[in-house]
Structure 1
Amino acid sequence: MSQDTNTIDAPPARPSFGYGLYLLISGLIGLIASLALAIEKIEQLRNPLGALSCDVSILVQCSANLDSPQGALFGFPNPYLGLFGFACVICAGVTTWAAPAIARWYWLLFNLGVAAGLVMVLWLISQSVYVLGTLCPWCMVVWAVTIPMFIVVTLRNLRDGVFGAGLRALGAQLWPYAGLLVFVAVAVVVLLAQLRLDVAGNVFGL
C-alpha cells in the first residue's frame, strides 16, 4: 500500500540539474527586478515630484506604472508580490538538487503559482500597453522571465507525468518546441506593444 501511495505522490521523473539551474537563474533575475521596483517605489514615496532612475522617457518609465492603481492591485505595491513569488521560484530550483524525490503535489502547486503569476503579468501587460501607455523597464524584465517560465514549467510537468501518465505523451511531443513557443509568446507581446505604442518610432526613431 505504501509503495502505491509513493507512486501516486511522486512524479515519475526527477527534475534534472539543468531544470533546477533554470529556475534558480530565472528566480534571481525576477527577484532583482522586483527588488529594483520596490526600491523605486520607496524613492517615489519619499520624493513624489522627483523622477525615478528608470524613467527614460514618456513612453519608457516606471513612475506612471508604480503610481497607478494597477501598480498596487491588492492594496500594496505589486513588487512585493514579486519578491515573494520569485523567492519561491529560487527555492524550487534549489529543491530539485537537494531532495532525492519530490512529491507530485509540490510541482502541481508550483505550476499553479506560476500560472497565477502569468495571469497577473498578462493583465499588467494589457494595462501598461492599452491603458497607461507606458513601458516600465523593470516590469518588462519580470514579463520576460514569467512568460517563458510558465511555458517551460508546464511543458516539463506534462512531459514528466506530473499531470498524470496520460498526458506524458503530449508533453513529450510539445517539449522540443518549448523554445519556439516562448519566442512566439514574446513576439506577440512585442507586436502588440508596437502596434499600440509605436515603440520603434518613439524609442529608436524608426
Structure 2
Amino acid sequence: MSSPPSRTRPTVMAVWLVIAGVIGWWAAFSLTMEKFHALSNPGEGASCDFSPLVQCSKNLGSWQGSVFGFPNPILGLTGWVAPIVVGMAILAGARFARWFWFLFWAGIAFAFGFVIWLISQSIFVLGTLCPWCMVTWAVTIPTFYVVTIHLFRAGILPVSARARGRADKLMGWVPLMAIGSYAIIAVIAQVRLDVLGALF
C-alpha cells in the first residue's frame, strides 16, 4: 500500500537527506580511516586530536567506540547510504509505500537514539568532544526531526487534516529546532567540561 498523496513532492527534505547523508558518510569514513591509522600505528595520535578535550583517539579506543563488537563508524558507512538513496529517489520522482517509510524512520530513530547515548557518554564518561563525532551529531539530529515530521504532514501516519497542517508548518521550524538542540548540547558540555576554559 502506497503512502497517501502529498500536495507537493518533498524536494527540500530530499535535498537535505542527500546533503546529510553525504556529510554523515564522510564523517564515518574519516573516523574509519583514523581507526585504521590507530591500529597500524599504536600509540600515535589521530589527526583529529587537537587537545585532551577535543580529540578522536579516546572515543575510538573506548568500548563505547565499538558497542556492537566493531568500530561504530562502520555503522555510519552503511547507514548513511540510505538517506542518500532515499533523497535521490524522491528527487527522481519515486514514491514509497507506507511500510517503507516506517522502516526508514525506524532506522533514523535508532541513529538518533544512538547519537544521544554517544553524546552522553562522550560528555559525562569520556570527557571529550570528538570532532568527526560532532559532525555526525549535527546531521543526525535534524534528519530525525525532518523524517518524523514528514510522517505526519504527508499522512503516512493516520492523523487528521488539522494535524497534518500543523506538521507542515512545523517543518519550517526544523532549523531552529536543530539550533536549539545544538545549544542544549553546548551548554551541557560547557557546564560539564568547561569547554571555553579549555580553549581559551
User: What is residue 43 of structure 1 aligned with on the other side?
Assistant: 37
- Consecutive unaligned residues of structure 2, counting only runs of 5 or more, are none
2:15 is aligned to 21
Secondary structure of 1:165 counterpart: coil
Task: Call closer, same or farther: CA 1:176–1:58 in 2, change over 3 Å.
Answer: same
Is the counterpart of residue 11 in structure 1 residue 7 in structure 2? Answer: no
Q: Which runs of 4+ in 1 moved over 6 A?
A: none
Matches within 5 A, 1:1-206: 6=1, 9-13=2-6, 15-166=9-160, 167-203=163-199, 205=200
- Taking the aligned partners of 1:164 and 1:82, their CA distance within structure 2 comes to 31
Post-superposition shift, 1:12?
2.5
Whichever residue aligns with residue 60 of structure 2, its letter is L
Measured on the aligned residues, the alpha-carbon RMSD in Å equals 1.4
Cα distance in 1 between the residues matched to 2:146 and 2:130: 25
Contact (CA 8 Å) 2:14, 2:86: kept in 1 or not?
yes
Q: 1:173 Cα deviation (Å)?
A: 4.4
Query: Bigger shift: 116-125 or 11-20?
Result: 11-20
Quote how far apart the aligned CAs of 1:96 are: 0.5
Q: Deviations over 1:4-60 (max 9, x none)?
A: xx5xx3232154222211110110000000000000001001111101100000000
Unaligned runs of 5+ in 1: 1-5
* Aligned residue type for 1:159: R
Q: Deviations over 1:73-106 (max 9, x none)?
A: 1000000000111011111111112344221222
- Counting aligned pairs with the same residue, the percent is 46
Verify the 8 A CA contact 1:11 1:102 in the aligned structure 2: no
> What TM-score do you get using the length of structure 1 for normalisation?
0.90
How many Å separate the matches in 2 of 1:125 and 1:153?
21
- Displacement of 1:159 in angstroms is 1.1
